[in-house]
Amino acid sequence: MLDRLNEALERVERDLGEPVDVAAMARSVFVSEQHFRRMFSVLSGMPISEYVRRRRLTLAGAEVIEGGDTLLDIAVRYGYGSAEAFGRAFRSVHGVGPGEARRGGAALTSQSRLTFHLTIEGNTIMRYRIVDKDAFAVTGPKARVPLVCEGPNEAMIEFVKGIDEATHERIEELSDQEPRGALGVTRTPEPGSGEGGDIDYYQAAATFSTEVPEGMESLRVPAGTWVVFPFERYTFPEQIQRIWLYAFSEWFPSNPAYQRGQGPDMLKVDYDEQEEGLASGELWMPVEKV
């Protein structure tokens, strides 16, 4: 799996002036485009689109400083239709415009080429179970927040803090199936609709009910298969976030009969009453047979 992923990343280096074909990259790894995007984000800490942008502008920065071609020629070579568009993108990565960089003395940012390696430590043991579920809904307040792969997600924290007690109680009342209670539900927007590191986040219940109370939204989830990773007394959020890393770097490669399925991830967290910062619960991820 990791060898095929590294081969797919070669496309980024070969096609620096062309639109990135994520679907073709996913096919070369024998996974769906959604699975590829999520796997890349979890393993690298950034969306594939952001990595491509940084790589292109890293190489473009070297050519700008070298001074052999005009700024427009460099812009076109790296897929920008105008010097103005190139200038805006260049400044967003390097903090200075290409003209200023060419005049000398400016410090530029460099995005190294990514290569994924598997490190064998021998001490990663995770329990899991496979569950088939009928169609259901996740219903609750929703917000679009940045994807944060490591450390606290401040936007998500503020969103949850803003939910009143009555709404929390209504979420608990709606819960009528596994996983029980209030859930943190995350869904990556479809490619082309908000791509760039954002996720849809629900504080919600898994329910058969079609009721959508005022102030809530409902996401219909089709019948399917789920892999469930239980955890006990993990530090929150650091160790819990690493379950996703484990899933994409170890569980999926070790279980090639499954790939990432359509649907949201559901996280059930029960905070430890004895020791602050610890939590137990389950992570539910949709999967499908390859």
169-207 burial, b if ≥16 CB within 10 A, otherwise e? ebbeebbeebbeebbbbbbbeeeeeebebbbbbbbbbbb
Q: Determine the Cα–Cα distance for residues 14 and 8; give it in Å rounded to an integer.
A: 10
- The number of C-alpha atoms within 13 Å of 262 and in the hemisphere containing its C-beta is 9
pLDDT digits (tens, 9 = 90+) for 197-238: 688 999 999 999 999 999 999 999 999 999 999 888 888 778
Instruction: Report yes or no: 220 and 244 within 8 Å, Cβ to Cβ.
Output: no
Give residue 196's pLDDT.
47
Of 100-104, 194-198, 259-263, where does mean pLDDT reach its minimum?
Answer: 194-198
Confidence of residue 273 (pLDDT cuts 50, 70, 90): confident
82 has pLDDT over 50 = yes
- The number of C-alpha atoms within 13 Å of 176 and in the hemisphere containing its C-beta is 13
Mean pLDDT of the chain: 84
Across 11-31, average pLDDT: 82
3-state secondary structure the chain: CHHHHHHHHHHHHHCCCCCCCHHHHHHHHCCCHHHHHHHHHHHHCCCHHHHHHHHHHHHHHHHHHHCCCCHHHHHHHCCCCCHHHHHHHHHHHHCCCHHHHHHCCCCCCCCCCCCCCCCCCCCCCCCCEEEEECCEEEEECEEEEECCCCCCCHHHHHHHHCCCHHHHHHHHHHCCCCCCCCEEEEECCCCCCCCCCEEEEEEEEEECCCCCCCCCEEEEECCEEEEEEEEEEEECCHHHHHHHHHHHHHHHHHCCCEEECCCCEEEEEEECCCCCCEEEEEEEEEEEEC
Give residue 120's pLDDT.
44
Give residue 118's pLDDT.
52
Give residue 167's pLDDT.
95
102-121 burial, b if ≥16 CB within 10 A, otherwise e? beeebebeebeebeeeeeee
Mean pLDDT is highest, among 150-154, 205-209, 247-251, 271-275, for 205-209
Confidence of residue 31 (pLDDT cuts 50, 70, 90): confident
pLDDT digits (tens, 9 = 90+) for 125-180: 578 888 999 999 999 999 999 877 777 888 999 999 999 999 999 999 999 999 99
Confidence of residue 122 (pLDDT cuts 50, 70, 90): very low
Give residue 105's pLDDT.
63
Give residue 15's pLDDT.
78
Give residue 197's pLDDT.
66
124 has pLDDT over 70 = no
Confidence of residue 95 (pLDDT cuts 50, 70, 90): confident
Question: What is the percentage of the chain residues whose pLDDT exceeds 90?
Answer: 29
